[in-house]
Amino acid sequence: MVAVIIIVALIALVGLWLMSTYNRLVKLKNLTAEAWSGIDVQLKRRFDLIPNLVETVKGYATHEKETFQKVTEARSMISNAGSDPEARMKAENVLTGALRSLFAVAENYPELKANENFMHLQTEISSIENELQMSRRYYNGTARNQNTAIQTFPAVLVARHFGFTEAPYFEAEGEAKAAPKVSF
């Protein structure tokens, strides 16, 4: 009789552990999805402001076609990336590099720097970039927590069985890391 109680208690403990581990992994997965959603909101705000910024700069810097083209192509890459986080991360990094180039071009036009519309747009973009940086850090923190939980033993057994996967980190690549190049 005592042996049956011990076996039932062990089965109950294992069941509680499995339930607890599964629920923790679901919570971490949802936090990571929420963090990505926060990044997505900021990216949409930036994406919507870019055409206004480009048109404002175009009025002053008419011979900087290549820079405008890069920004337009980067926006297009984002649209084509859809909802795949890894594809969006790469496209957003390209856009970040293109925006740096655009702001570098703007620095060479004193009359543009004094333009109220440009200053307002630049302030808005800078604000969004700061919010994006914070959102990316939050996302990477939740991705780290999710990945750690998925990779550690014994939770890895539950994660594998229920199909939990690691979340990619949002990392700056290529053009997003490089200093802007301006040539006349």
The pTM assigned to this predicted structure is: 0.66
Report the chain (184 residues): mean pLDDT per 10 consecutive residues.
91 93 94 89 82 71 68 80 79 81 72 69 82 90 94 92 91 54 40
Tokens of 158: 């539950």
**Within 13 Å of residue 92, how many CA atoms lie on the same side as its CB?**
25
pLDDT at 179: 45
- Identify whether the C-beta of residue 169 lies closer than 8 Å to the C-beta of residue 32: no
Cβ contact 132:49 at 8 Å: no
**63 assigned to some structural domain:** yes
Give the Cα-Cα-Cα angle 54, 130, 87 (nearest 5 degrees): 70
What's the pLDDT score for residue 172?
Answer: 67
Is 183 inside a domain boundary? no
Q: What is the CATH number of the domain that holds 111?
A: 1.20.1440.20
- How would you classify residue 163: left for phi > 0, otherwise alpha for psi between -120 and 50, otherwise beta? left
Q: Which domain holds residue 157?
A: 2-177
Do the domain assignments include residue 146?
yes
Nearest alpha carbon to residue 170 among 145, 135, 126: 135
Q: How far apart are CA 94 and CA 87, in angstroms?
A: 11
Quote the pLDDT of residue 20. 93
b (16+ CB within 10 A) / e for 118-146: beebbeebeebeebbeebbebbbebbebb
Per the domain annotation, does 117 fall within a domain? yes
Residue 130 tokens read as 């700061």
pLDDT, residue 60, reads: 63
Domains: count for the chain: 1
